[in-house]
Amino acid sequence: MKRSVTKIKFHSPTISRRDVKGNIPEQFSYVVNYARRAKLTGLEAGSVLRQEYRNFLFYMEVFSFHLTTGLEISFTVKKPSAFMFFMLEGQVHFSLPGGRPVAVAGEGKCYAAFNTPGAFAGKLEKGWHHFVYINARAAWLWRHVNDFSGLREFLQWMESGHHPYGHMPQVDPDRAMARKLKQLFSPQEENKDIETWHLGLCKALLKRYHQLTFRRYEDPVYRVRQFIERNYTSHQLMTVSALSDRFGIYLKKLERDYQKEFLMTPGDYIRLLRMEHARHLLLQGLLVREVSDSLDYKNVPSFIRAFKSYYGHPPGSIQGQNNPVKPEISPRRKMTD
C-alpha cells in the first residue's frame, strides 16, 4: 500500500539527512526493526526519525521528534485516507493552513480519522514526541463496515468530499491495546512471516479500538454530532437552542462539552458543514439560488451574507470553477435521528 501523505516540510533549517535502517541511534526508544525505511533528519530545532512499513492492506509510519525548541510542520494529503492514530508520547496540534484546529493529539490518546486531499499543518513543543499512524486500504474497510459501529457513516463522510477531515472518538488505550501497540516495536525473528504477523496485529488494534469506542457513541455530544451531520441542511438546526431542547441538555453544558470533545461549538460545526457543502455545490456548477434553496435559507441574500462572512468573498466568485456540469440536486432531506 502506498503512502497518502506527501511533501512533509519541517519549518526549521535542515542540517543533515541520512538512512539509519538497521542502525537507529540508541536515544530513540520506539524502534521498528522490520521497517522498510528509516530516515533521520537533523534540524536546527532538533532531530526527527521516520520509520515506515507497508503491506497490501496497511501502511504504517512512526515519527519520533527530539526537539530543543518548538517546531511547525506542514504536509499534503494526495488522496482520501482513513487511518488510526496513536500518540505514544508528547502532544501534537493539527490544523488547517489558515489555523483552524483539526485535532489535539494528547499523550496516550488513540483515535480513528480521515483526511481528504489538501494541505494540513502541525505544531509540536520542545521535548520528545512519538506517534504512529496506520493507514488502512479503503476497499478493505468497506468490506468490513458491518463489523465496526460507525464505520459505514465514517467512510461515507470521507468519500462525500465535503469535509477536509473527520474523526471518530478519542480513547485511552487499555491494557489489551497497549500490549498490541508494544508488539509493533518488538524485535522480530528473521524467518518470521512479518507481513502476516503485521496484518493480524493491525486488525487486532482496529478491533480493540471498536470495542473501546462502542459505548462512546451513546454519549450525548456524539448523539448531537451525529444528528447535526445527518440534518445540517435543515433550518431547524440554525440555532443551538433547538439542539439543547431536542436532546434535553442545558445549553451551556452542551456547548462546553462539545467544545472540549471536538474543539469547536455545535454552532460552529453546523456553520462549517453548511458552508463547506455550499462551496462544494458551487464548485460543481450549481447556481447561487439553487445552493441557497438546498440549504434551506429563507432567501438568497441571507445565504450570500452568510457565505461572505465565512469565506471573505461572495459565492458567485467561485461558482463552477471545478466543473461546468451541474450535478443533480437530491430532494431536501427530512429530519432524521
Identify which of 133, 115, 131 has the alpha carbon closest to the alpha carbon of residue 206.
133
Domain extents in the chain: 5-217, 220-317
Q: Judge contact between 108 and 87, C-beta under 8 A.
A: yes
| pLDDT at site 323 | 42
Q: For 168, which DSSP code? A: P
Q: For 55, which DSSP code? A: -
Rounded mean pLDDT for each run of 10 residues along the chain, 337 residues in total: 88 96 93 94 97 94 97 94 95 89 91 92 96 94 85 84 82 92 83 86 92 80 84 76 89 91 86 87 88 90 92 81 40 42
Half-sphere exposure of 290 (CA within 13 A, CB side): 17
The Cα–Cα gap between 298 and 288 comes to: 13
The b/e string for 46-85 (b: 16+ C-beta within 10 A; e otherwise) is: bbbbbbbbbbebbbbbbbbbbbeeebebebebeebbbbbb
Work out the number of other CB atoms within 10 angstroms of the CB of residue 140.
Answer: 13
Question: What residues form DSSP beta bridges with 136?
Answer: 58, 82
| CATH class entry, domain 5-217 | mainly beta
Predicted TM-score of the model (pTM): 0.77
Of the options 3.40.640.10, 2.40.10.10, 1.10.10.60, 1.10.15.40, the CATH number for the domain spanning 220-317? 1.10.10.60
| pLDDT at site 190 | 66
Q: Judge contact between 144 and 156, C-beta under 8 A.
A: no
| pLDDT at site 336 | 47
142-181 pLDDT, tens digit each: 998 888 877 888 888 888 777 788 888 888 999 999 999 9
The rounded Cα 108 to chain-centroid distance in angstroms is 17
